[in-house]
């Protein structure tokens, strides 16, 4: 009987989680509604822009002429009723972006490796500070800086590759920060195990650290490239527009999709010019989308297999 009574008075263990109060439930539902509302509010302009550009430009870019011809011989939009093509602008955009990536990605990756693996003291803090400064520099300032150095200081005529140099200044901080975060995610145990086997630090970085974070580095590099492809100010200042195809970035003038849009936007009230503007905008969006998808695809399959 005593045993039964002792069991009866023994306190029952509690989970510590009482029933949800009405005020907590109301706050939770309110926060959920606010989050979904903010998401929908941010999604509306994005869908609106995509729908507008695709509905007005998709019919233009579906024509093979758009990809195979340039604007050679095109007159004023008011007197020219042929849309023709944007091959000169597409090739120019790809070439300028490729040159930018070839220059910017190695510099950014080596900068990130220095900051994560070697950076100590004042020099590392100065480098990190300069990367932060570059990430906030407007594109027009980078263009004016290159113009002052290239034309004003050295007196050299502008060529399309100068626009790539301005875009390099804009791409380096983006790739540097993304690569830096990927390198920080590599477990220190991998480095320590390599050091314990007597492997030099430089070989540990090239054989262990970089391959482990390769997928993130590739993804960040392609996202940075997609970001600079749509820049307009450096191209307007440093790369003169031409309606002819120029495949040599070291001479003459070279068109690009942003400058093509700017050049045609002056006559956007004319239907032909409007079609060219929407077609070029749609092409640029599709190119950026393709690069983003390529970055995610490469990043997924470039992971180190265990």
CATH of the domain at 133: 1.10.3720.10
- Asked if residue 10 belongs to a domain, the reply is no
Own/partner pairs, 73-80, CB within 8 angstroms, 24+ separation: 74/243, 76/267, 77/264, 77/267, 77/270, 77/272, 77/273, 77/276, 78/267, 78/270, 80/272
Structure confidence at residue 72 as a pLDDT band (50, 70, 90)? confident
- Asked if residue 211 belongs to a domain, the reply is yes
Neighbours of 227 (CB within 10 A): 17
| pLDDT tens profile 161-196 | 999 999 999 999 999 999 999 999 999 998 999 999
Structure confidence at residue 140 as a pLDDT band (50, 70, 90)? very high
Own/partner pairs, 284-291, CB within 8 angstroms, 24+ separation: 284/93, 284/229, 284/230, 284/257, 284/258, 285/50, 285/53, 286/61, 287/90, 287/93, 287/94, 287/229, 287/257, 288/226, 288/229, 288/230, 291/222, 291/225, 291/226, 291/229
Q: Can you give the residue range of the structural domain that contains 296? A: 68-301
Q: What's the whole-number average pLDDT of the chain?
A: 87
Are residues 187 and 253 in contact, defined by beta-carbon separation less than 8 angstroms?
no
Residue 139 pLDDT > 50: yes
Average pLDDT over residues 75-102: 86
- Asked if residue 180 belongs to a domain, the reply is yes
Q: Which residue has the higher pLDDT, 60 or 8?
A: 60
* CA distances for 288 relative to 47, 148, 208, 278, angstroms: 16, 30, 31, 15
| pLDDT tens profile 46-67 | 999 999 999 999 999 999 999 9
Residues of the chain above pLDDT 90, percent: 53
- Asked if residue 261 belongs to a domain, the reply is yes
- Asked if residue 23 belongs to a domain, the reply is no
pLDDT at 1: 45
For the chain, how many structural domains are there in total? 1
The model carries a pTM of 0.83
- Asked if residue 306 belongs to a domain, the reply is no
- Asked if residue 267 belongs to a domain, the reply is yes
- Asked if residue 50 belongs to a domain, the reply is no
Are residues 90 and 154 in contact, defined by beta-carbon separation less than 8 angstroms?
no
Place of tokens 């393709």: 290
């Amino acid at each position: 009987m005593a045993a039964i009574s002792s069991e009866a008075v023994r306190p029952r263990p509690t989970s510590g989680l009482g029933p949800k109060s009405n005020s907590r439930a109301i706050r939770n539902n309110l926060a959920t509604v606010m989050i979904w509302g903010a998401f929908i509010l941010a999604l509306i302009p994005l869908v609106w822009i995509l729908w507008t550009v695709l509905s007005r430009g998709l019919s233009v870019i579906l024509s093979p002429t758009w990809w195979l011809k340039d604007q050679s011989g095109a007159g004023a939009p008011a007197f020219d009723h042929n849309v023709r093509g944007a091959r000169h602008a597409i090739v120019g955009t790809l070439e300028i972006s490729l040159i930018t990536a070839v220059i910017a990605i190695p510099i950014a990756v080596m900068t990130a490796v220095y900051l994560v693996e070697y950076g100590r003291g004042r020099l590392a803090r100065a480098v990190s500070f300069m990367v932060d400064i570059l990430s906030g520099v407007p594109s027009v300032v980078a263009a004016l800086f290159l113009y002052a150095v290239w034309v004003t200081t050295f007196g050299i005529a502008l060529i399309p590759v100068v626009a790539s140099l301005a875009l390099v200044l804009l791409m380096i901080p983006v790739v540097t920060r993304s690569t830096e975060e990927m390198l920080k995610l590599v477990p220190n145990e991998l480095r320590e195990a390599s050091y314990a086997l007597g492997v030099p630090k430089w070989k540990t970085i090239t054989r262990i650290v970089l391959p482990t974070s390769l997928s993130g580095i590739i993804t960040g590099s392609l996202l940075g490239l997609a970001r600079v492809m749509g820049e307009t100010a450096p191209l307007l200042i440093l790369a003169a527009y031409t309606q002819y195809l120029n495949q040599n970035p070291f001479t003459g003038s070279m068109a690009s999709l942003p400058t093509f849009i700017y050049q045609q936007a002056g006559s956007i009230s004319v239907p032909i010019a409007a079609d060219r503007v929407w077609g070029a905008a749609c092409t640029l969006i599709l190119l950026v989308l393709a690069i983003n998808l390529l970055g995610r695809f490469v990043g997924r399959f470039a992971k180190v297999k265990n």
